[in-house]
Amino acid sequence: MVQVEVLKLRPEILESFICSLLTVAFFVDRGCCENLDSELDTSDVIADRLIDWGVKVIFGLPGDGINGMMEALRKRQDKIKFVLVRHEEGAAFEACGYSKFTGQVGVCLATSGPGGIHLLNGLYDAHMDNRPVLAITGRTYSDLMGSGYQQDVDLIIPFQKVAGFNQLIANPWAAEMTVDLAMKYALNNRDVAHISIPIDVQVEAMAKGVESEHKVPNMTSATTGSRVIPPRTQIEQAANILNQGDRVVIFCGAGALAAGEEILQISRKLNAPIVKALLGKAVVPDEDPNCLGGLGLLGTAPSQDAMEQADTLLMVGTSYPYADYLPKPGQARGVQIDIKGERIGIRYPVTLGLTGDAKLTLQELIPLILQKKNDAFLRNMQGKMKDWWRLLENRGTRPDVPMKPQVVTWSLSDLLSDDAIICTDSGTITTWAARYIKIRKNQLFSCSGNLASMANGLPYAIGAQIAFPNRQVVAIIGDGGFAMLMCEFSTAVLHKLPIKFIVIKNGSLDQIRWEQIGFLGNPEYGVEFADIDFVKFAEACGGAGFRIEKPTEVKSVLQAALSQDKPTVVEAIVDPNEPPNPPKLTREQVENFAKALIKGQPQRGRIALTLFRDKISEL
């Protein structure tokens, strides 16, 4: 009302306003405003260069510190998709998952200050698993940096350890070159790159003749180097070592994901069993007769037996951190193939290291490998693996109530599509997924490897579904990990992503609980949660929700959930007292378990009874 009275008292203001509107309408009607945005600014240059590099999607959350970039993306939304997330940590995980499943650079975006800081956990996940990811962040106004202005955080500093390329763009003429250098670094080093842009620089227009005298326009290119093959002499040396071995074991990781056929070929020529690091689960099918599954706490007993007996070890694309599960130093001669030379020999003192692309190197190596006639070692391991699968089937079909967690993943494995993409989280859930999901030839699998971060499973699945909209994507997550970033379920709803989230619900941080008991001999402490109804949550977000409480319900409920065409949560309520035992229990682990029970472990009677019943069932 006050405004109206003022306008009435001052008609010249109203007249001026109407004239302005008519003027704008006149020029818009004649197309005279088409050139208002014709001059490119820094953000335009960055967006165009990302498109030149083949970037098709960016995961992020806007803010006033990055809105210049948002405008550039808005104007190019037909060429590059912006995936709005609920939390920047989710954006970084989604970019990492996207990169893991496509092999391309994943890109995430956040505003200045807290937005950029929130990216760090997901970026460390990419950094530690050798995935190319580019992070784009905002920065406060360039003439206010260091003054304590709002969100005035120098993001170059916290990104120093996670991003090998870490650069502030100070003016628009550096933008194209900086993007090129960032993308080259990410791709060639399989690592994180970061560029940060002040608010005012984001919208600073390009102008001719202002570059430094040594800066030539368009001096860099949107291209990168070719893949590497080791020298022929080294490949011949590797062949000699492998040909001389009697009990050769092949150990492969994520670096061998594109070399599955070559791994199988060399395995058959050497009569060598194949053992897989967790991130290499999809290198070869789990049911291939030469495959012994995973290694370590999440692995199989036959893989551990093979390592204990090996006299020759071929490592391909892995820097598996748990050296105590590898052959003892001096026990076996070793050959290691890795794209990163600095990774060779850091877990096992190999005889020879080959720096090169796994697939190309194996293709050069295979013709030099002689067909071994003695297959006694391989047949022995194959027999043990058949026994192992029978044991897992027994555990995965238990009728007990409360329901065993492995019953869910055992049944799920058979129901997955032949080209399904499977994501899992960190915790006991990793054990149930790694052991009981039988990976098939065209399926993909990943999780947070060396960082072992919780909360990655849900956003990984979003990154996967964005990359492959026509493939089935399933995330197997614990209730602890799901709750950490459950807001991202609404991201899946917003973007109409029909992901299936299988939430194994035991009401606690179960992995931490069993570590307290089995590794330290202490009773559990600080690991139990208040209950969350994930079915109601899913429905409240606009998705579908299902619940499983009994083994007899598992197959039918999973089938119903997998048939949904929207984001879906399956809440599976399981026995919290079922331990994720390693394939071989050590005496120390058994003694620590007993100590924890004696010290006053809650529900110790029920835990002991569970262990007794488990063993009786297996016998």
Torsion sign over Cα 65, 154, 204, 83: negative
Strands 421-424 and 473-478: parallel
3-state secondary structure of 101: helix
Cross-strand partners of 110: 137
Q: d(Cα 465, Cα 497) in Å, to the nearest integer?
A: 7
Q: How many residues does the chain have?
A: 619
Cross-strand partners of 336: 315, 353
Q: What is the pLDDT of residue 582?
A: 86
Phi, psi of 191 (to 5 degrees): -150, 180
Q: d(Cα 21, Cα 17) in Å, to the nearest integer?
A: 6
| Closest C-alpha to 254, from 315, 212, 208, 180 | 315
Do the beta carbons of residue 159 and residue 124 sit within 8 Å? no
Strand order in the sheet with 500-505: 444-446, 421-424, 473-478, 500-505, 568-573, 544-548
Q: What is the pLDDT of residue 215?
A: 66
3-state secondary structure of 292: strand
What domains can be seen in the chain, in order of their start residue? 42-202 (3.40.50.970), 232-383 (3.40.50.1220), 397-618 (3.40.50.970)
Phi, psi of 572 (to 5 degrees): -105, 110
Rounded to 10°, the helix 510-518/587-599 angle is 100
Cα dihedral value 201, 205, 210, 215, nearest 10: 70
Do the beta carbons of residue 75 and residue 37 sit within 8 Å? yes
Other Cβ atoms closer than 10 A to 194: 28
What is the per-residue DSSP string for 490-538? HHHHHTT---EEEEEE-SB-HHHHHHHHHTT-----S-B-----HHHHH
Q: How far is CA 150 from the centre of its chain?
A: 33
Phi, psi of 23 (to 5 degrees): -65, -45
Phi, psi of 252 (to 5 degrees): -125, 150
Do the beta carbons of residue 489 and residue 541 sit within 8 Å? yes
Do the beta carbons of residue 104 and residue 77 sit within 8 Å? no
Tokens at residue 188, please?
């060639």
In the block, tokens 């009994």 appear at 550
Q: What is the pLDDT of residue 607?
A: 62
Identify the segments of the chain with pLDDT beneath 50: 1-7, 9, 24, 26-28, 30-36, 609, 612, 616, 619
What is the residue type of 16? S
